[in-house]
Structure 1
Amino acid sequence: MVEKFEKDGTLPAGVDSDPEHMELRTILEDPVGQKYIGAFAKKTLTHESFFAWTEIQEYRSIPTADYQRGMAMHIYQKYIKEGAILQLGCVKPADRQCIKAVLDQSKYDASVTNNQLYDKVQQAVFIEMYHNTFQRFKVSDEYSEMRKMLRETYNRVCLSDFDYIAQIGEGGFGRVVHVRKKSTMAHLAMKIQLKTALLETFSDDPNRIDNERRVLAATYHPFIVGMNYAFQTETLAIMVLDLVTCGDLQEAINQAPNKRLNEVRVQFYVAEIILALSHLHELGLMFRDLKPCNVLLGQDGHVKLTDMGGVAEFAKGTCLDPMDSCSGSSPYMMEIGGQRKGNTEARKLSQSHRRRSIMGTHGYMAPEMVILLSQPRAVRKGYTKAVDFWSLGVTMYKLLTGVRPFENKRFLNEILTEVRFPPYMSAEAKDLVIRLLDGNEHRRLGASPELLAELKAHPFFNGIDWVRLSVRHMIPPYVPDAKPLEQTPQYASFDALMEAYRTQDEADRSGGTPMCDWTQKPSPADQRFFQSWDFISMQTLKIEMGIANEMVSHDTNFKVRQLMGDPGDSSKASPRGVFILRHANSMSASRGNKLGKSM
């Protein structure tokens, strides 16, 4: 552990030989330690340093350029610049100017915001915490209580940790349930899968059994459904995901007047989808099944990609690599050391690596994938991540019109016919769809870093501030009327839930539907394919340890200042800043009469 801290840039030079400095650093690495020293920092009014250290540590772990740049801007605006809401007094003016210069340059080159940008700030904050917080913490009752807690075994999540509120959906060997975590009262979606059925499904390559879990563990992002926990029993493999309550974009189309959405909403949704796809691509992953029903709409008006089962890698060293260092047995597999390789390796990914397996939905597949349907595998040319941007073009067209541009067509000559546009679609929207549906994958917007930059600069996205959007600091143009979450559990326990499912299964079986045996256990030899299943995200640990709510409270105040025009923020005078203010001022209208109501 000491060697790790010496190399990760978080410690000032020369302090690694001091046992007390190393003890503080170890406490800051541990979620239990964070809980206790964070609470003590708040109590002693020294919490600015603690919050800054924690957010910089999170920033260092972000493996993709756009999201990291957005977080870098967020930290500067919140802690570093003159007059910041939580301005740090330990930052030297020269370091402040240096950081500002890098952030100004990042507007043209996101890669300059690397992991080391805030090293000096984090080191200064560490020394400030050591003198102002830790010295008093060591002689407090809270310190003794922390030591006792650290000696106890970490709480591993289990079935009895949840209330079972309602069934959401089910498939052949999977059930999804609305649950509530007892310790945090967080409402979540629990995906319950039968191990023997997973083994049968992936019998050709059992090492792929946990691919979806690996992807969810590696892709923490504002616009991708997050995984909070993964755990198992002898018979079940379970994932606990974000609960997104306002349906998907296909449902939004179905519920809209004229069965289509207006361009203000579509612009916002497509921009967030682009950021999610870019995040996957920088990690060496392609989504392969983008369509409206795989984009969920949250009660806050933001969207999230869901269903990572079709994700595939197009480079070596991704989270799907069998030798990936994050696939070990530790439930805390998203620690900083396991993620940081993303920034250096992901940006050197091969743009030419091609996949040859067929995945996706007819009507949304790119031509280079459709042609594979008629080819034996040995002669297939394959496809690249550019298929995701073709699917984005189809999805955008459907959001705007209610239908696909190639409705029910699966043959190449039909897909490559000219797209027809309705008269109500703007010239900017038409042009963007045409350029996303370019049959030449090498010209398709988004297909390369240069074409991705061109995509973001397209006139259709005028008014979108990509940096602020990347950290959800733009107000959505439409906020759905979300029903209050059900609070009363329908089932007294997990066993009661499964008994209800067994009763349903018996009825289905009597009707001739074959059902799975939910009591069947894999053999001891097959259990090894689940040895790395357990997982708790670091973001979830912040919630578990009581850190997250306090940080969110401060972040909300900061966010409001940004949206309403923070003095000294030069971006407020730009057209994009006007866009943000316009939507902030009309927030009440969006709630009352659905701002951005469909055409």
Structure 2
Amino acid sequence: METPLSAPPPSSSQKPSPLPPPPPADQKHQKDLDFHSIRAIKFDAERRARWEIQVLKQLSTQKTAHPFLPHLISSVETQEFLAWAVPFCPGGDLNVLRHRQNDRVFSPSVIRFYLAEIVCALDHLHEMGIVFRDLKPENILIQHSGHVTLTDFDLSRTLTRKTVRNLICDAGETGCHLITGNRIEQPQKKQKQQDRRNLRRWWFVNDIQQKKNGLKKAKSARVSPVSRRKLSFNNGERSNSFVGTEEYVSPEVVRGDGHEFAVDWWALGILTYEMLYGTTPFKGKNRKETFRNVLLKKPEFFGKRNELTDLIERLLEKDPAQRLGYQRGACEIKEHGFFKGVRWDLLTEVLRPPFIPSREDGELTVTTGGVDMRKYFEDLRAPPPSMPPSPSSECHRRLSEF
């Protein structure tokens, strides 16, 4: 549940939850901080909500603040709800924006702008050791300034990078070898057969998990049977949980091989494809067919091949060790030809992004005059008012006196 709010200066009589100070804002972006969005959940989703608040707190210090990532403003906990507030984004999400375009697709120049900012946001998360794991258009919001911000960190996870990892390519060979320590791992020769076995295994395990958790069948359903308790990782660098949105899930997640930061670059490839063609590349008639396509099918491209389609193809490499961004992270993606000429250090200085929210987009907040966020939280903390006795009970009391 999200509600746009307007927060006045703090009052001495009000005591919001102690939180890290929000990142500093210049005068140009001060208007962005005047509106906030509240999310509230019931305690059946408490674990993931608490994790998201923890991540937002990590993003809210002056050292870790980033222009394309949100920060936590305040939070409140009652017996029934856990709620938190983040800056309000009046432009909606990238999916809504795409549907407003002609043919419901973006031009390459618009794709370049949004991808550049998303890459910077993911790069910052990865530098903090956070893998996002749920990149999709619905989780990319448009700020008042027209720049993007990522949202929904409940499926994210903190991982540790490998200390020794290199890829070498022998002369005359098209494949790469993954070196881990002193061991060289050759690419599997029967990867497709292994994928089919893993897919059948996933069907069986997933059917049991769905019956256990009562998960609804949906084209964009999340499958997240993962506990927040500490798990055993290989050198603290991989997660073995099955998590994400089905059309954006990477092959290594479907196979159950364990995954790391490369899953975000796979999702970036899916996102780019959808921005270009208006649909995701591996979408099937049902979830099983979608995952079969993820494991076995190659993305289809239309028209003349160019730098953008090459970027998508390299991001959608099914072997994570050969995927663009696996070795040197965002640096590899920034160096791709599609981003030639992008001034990465000046992205926040762009004064005319492709889309800037209009007054109508924030009309709800403006016309209602806003809400005192801290008072809203205090009201949530307050016990419910006592109800006056009903006329029938008063009559019963009077009759009992005789």
| Superposition TM-score, scaled by structure 2 size | 0.62
Distance 2:314 2:262 in 1: 12
**Match for residue 474 of structure 1?**
350
**Match for residue 187 of structure 1?**
35
How far apart are 1:476 and its partner, in Å? 4.6
**Match for residue 100 of structure 2?**
255
- One-letter amino acid of the counterpart of residue 148, structure 2: V
Q: 2:90 aligned with 1:210, yes or no? A: no
CA contact (8 A) 2:146 2:353 kept: yes
Question: Cα RMSD over matched residues?
Answer: 3.1
Q: How do residues 123-202 of structure 1 correspond to structure 2 at under 5 angstroms? A: 175-183=1-9, 186-193=34-41, 197-198=42-43, 200-201=44-45
How far apart are 1:352 and its partner, in Å? 7.4
Q: 2:297 aligned with 1:417, yes or no? A: yes
CA contact (8 A) 1:351 1:448 kept: no
CA contact (8 A) 1:428 1:460 kept: yes
**Match for residue 395 of structure 1?**
271
How far apart are 1:233 and its partner, in Å? 4.2
- One-letter amino acid of the counterpart of residue 272, structure 2: M
CA contact (8 A) 2:73 2:87 kept: yes
Distance 1:483 1:351 in 2: 50
Q: How do residues 103-502 of structure 1 correspond to structure 2 at under 5 angstroms? A: 175-183=1-9, 186-193=34-41, 197-198=42-43, 200-201=44-45, 210-219=50-59, 220-233=65-78, 235-315=80-160, 353-372=237-256, 381-408=257-284, 409-423=289-303, 427-449=306-328, 452-469=330-347, 472-484=348-360, 485=362, 486-489=365-368
CA contact (8 A) 1:268 1:476 kept: no
**CA deviation map 1:160-215 (0-9, x unaligned):** xxxxxxxxxxxxxxx3211111227921112233xxx32x445xxx5x65210010
**CA deviation map 1:464-503 (0-9, x unaligned):** 111222xx12345413341253334389889x999xx9xx
Report SS of the residue matched to 1:281. helix
Distance 1:209 1:256 in 2: 33
Distance 2:236 2:319 in 1: 14
- One-letter amino acid of the counterpart of residue 398, structure 1: E
- One-letter amino acid of the counterpart of residue 124, structure 2: H
Report SS of the residue matched to 1:188. strand
Report SS of the residue matched to 2:4. strand
Unpaired runs of at least 5, structure 2: 11-32, 60-64, 162-233, 385-402
How far apart are 1:300 and its partner, in Å? 1.8
- One-letter amino acid of the counterpart of residue 182, structure 1: P
Distance 2:326 2:318 in 1: 12
**Match for residue 209 of structure 2?**
none
Report SS of the residue matched to 2:37. strand
Distance 1:209 1:419 in 2: 35
CA contact (8 A) 2:269 2:315 kept: yes
Bigger CA drift: 210-219 or 220-229?
Answer: 220-229
**CA deviation map 1:58-101 (0-9, x unaligned):** xxxxxxxxxxxxxxxxxxxxxxxxxxxxxxxxxxxxxxxxxxxx
Report SS of the residue matched to 2:40. strand
How far apart are 1:286 and its partner, in Å? 0.6
Distance 1:493 1:222 in 2: 25
**CA deviation map 1:400-422 (0-9, x unaligned):** 11111112343245543222112
**Match for residue 29 of structure 2?**
none
Report SS of the residue matched to 2:359. coil
Distance 2:278 2:98 in 1: 6
Percent pairwise identity: 29
Relative to structure 1, is the Cα distance of residues 431 and 369 closer, same or farther in structure 2, using a 3 angstrom cutoff? same
| Misfit runs of 4+, over 6 Å | 490-494
How far apart are 1:447 and its partner, in Å? 1.7
Distance 1:297 1:493 in 2: 23
Distance 2:350 2:372 in 1: 40
Distance 2:353 2:58 in 1: 29
Q: How do residues 469-548 of structure 1 correspond to structure 2 at under 5 angstroms? A: 469=347, 472-484=348-360, 485=362, 486-489=365-368
CA contact (8 A) 2:6 2:372 kept: no
CA contact (8 A) 1:264 1:477 kept: no
How far apart are 1:358 and its partner, in Å? 1.1
How far apart are 1:276 and its partner, in Å? 0.8
Distance 1:393 1:482 in 2: 30
CA contact (8 A) 2:250 2:294 kept: no
| Superposition TM-score, scaled by structure 1 size | 0.42
Q: How many residues align?
A: 275
- One-letter amino acid of the counterpart of residue 371, structure 1: R
Relative to structure 1, is the Cα distance of residues 180 and 447 closer, same or farther in structure 2, using a 3 angstrom cutoff? same
- One-letter amino acid of the counterpart of residue 446, structure 1: G
**CA deviation map 1:414-438 (0-9, x unaligned):** 54322211216x5000110010001
**Match for residue 28 of structure 2?**
none
**Match for residue 168 of structure 1?**
none
Distance 1:365 1:416 in 2: 13
